[in-house]
Amino acid sequence: MSFIEELSAVAQRSKCVNYLLWSAFAFGIVKLTTLFLRVLALVFDLFILTPTNYAKYGAGKGFYCVVTGASDGIGKEFARQMAQRKFNLILVSRTLSKLEALQKELTKEYGVDVKVLAFDASEDSSVNYVELQNICEKLPVTVLINNVGQSHSIPVPFLETEEKELRNIITINNTATLMITQSVAPTIVKNAATTGQRGLILTMGSFGGLIPTPLLATYSGSKSFLQGWSSALAGELKEKNVDVELILSYLVTSAMSKVKRSSAMIPNPKCFVRSTLGSVGRRCGAQERFATMTPFWSHALYHFVIEETLGVYSKSVNSINYCFHKSIRQRALRKAERMSKSQ
């Protein structure tokens, strides 16, 4: 090869190297720009934008909101804060006495109409769904909050999960949620078409569905299912003037989580519901997901960091999650053993 040919080859290689370097640089700029925009959106969603205006869903105009799992914890707080927004209510839960007590309390305090329906979602009875549908068809319902849910009593290996617990989790979290939505959503769609008010369907998800969670495998799978279902439903109902969103939550003080003390990472139901209702229409920490929000500020930051670093499906996150729940299981078993000995 002559000297000129060698120079030509070197020049060609230099062009290729320069092309690759510029391509890498351009790709890096795009990635940094999109990351900056996601961070900016996160900050605006959590700390700057004003709370959602519920006038578009019929607040104060005689419209109704259906809340499931309404007698305790997060569901009870959803009912209270929707009553504060002057929505009439249809409250659904298992225990009639608790529903009636809440009915009297909210009617007296906020002057709204409150109807109650008691049934056990784990029974998956068609009679219950028909009764709920019949109630809703006679009323101007524009909002449904799917809050009813169940987790494991303690973290447990899947192969040791009792059949009754497994079936109850799937029935309550999935089958009942879908059937309740099928019972209520047609009325919401009809009212959105005839009244000019938008409709809204909120469903409680979980970090257990966001991140595959060993020792809570059945619960984790049930909540992951709700992610796919809710996002698909959002696509279907968007053109019908109905907003559909999945709510992602880390721990909240409640009977289901068995956590009693609140902290920066673990809000009480009042704080969690306030952030949720104030964030409808925004993604907050769930920047990469359609029709999904992680509304509480610390949960949102936690979600965002995991998604932008290791990733929710990574082996490292799975292992950390396993160790965390293994520790919870060991403590729960030791506590049960102590209580057994003291009896």
> Residue 300: what residue type?
A
| 323 within 8 A of 329, measured Cβ to Cβ | no
| 193 within 8 A of 204, measured Cβ to Cβ | no
Structure tokens at 21: 């370097």
pLDDT of residue 27: 77
Cα–Cα distance measured from residue 50 to residue 311, given in angstroms and rounded to the nearest whole number: 30
Q: Is 206 annotated as a binding residue?
A: yes
Residues carrying an active site annotation:
219
Collapsing DSSP states into helix, strand and coil, what is residue 245? strand
**pTM assigned to the model:** 0.92
| 216 within 8 A of 262, measured Cβ to Cβ | no
* Domains, the chain, ordered by start: 47-335 (3.40.50.720)
pLDDT of residue 1: 53
In order along its 343 residues, the chain shows pLDDT tens digits of 555 555 455 456 677 767 777 777 787 788 788 889 999 999 999 999 999 999 999 999 999 999 999 999 999 999 999 999 999 999 999 999 999 999 999 999 999 999 999 999 999 999 999 999 999 999 999 999 999 999 999 999 999 999 999 999 999 999 999 999 999 999 999 999 999 999 999 999 999 999 999 999 999 999 999 999 999 999 999 999 999 999 999 999 988 788 888 999 999 999 999 999 999 999 999 999 999 999 999 999 999 999 999 999 999 999 999 999 999 999 999 999 898 888 7
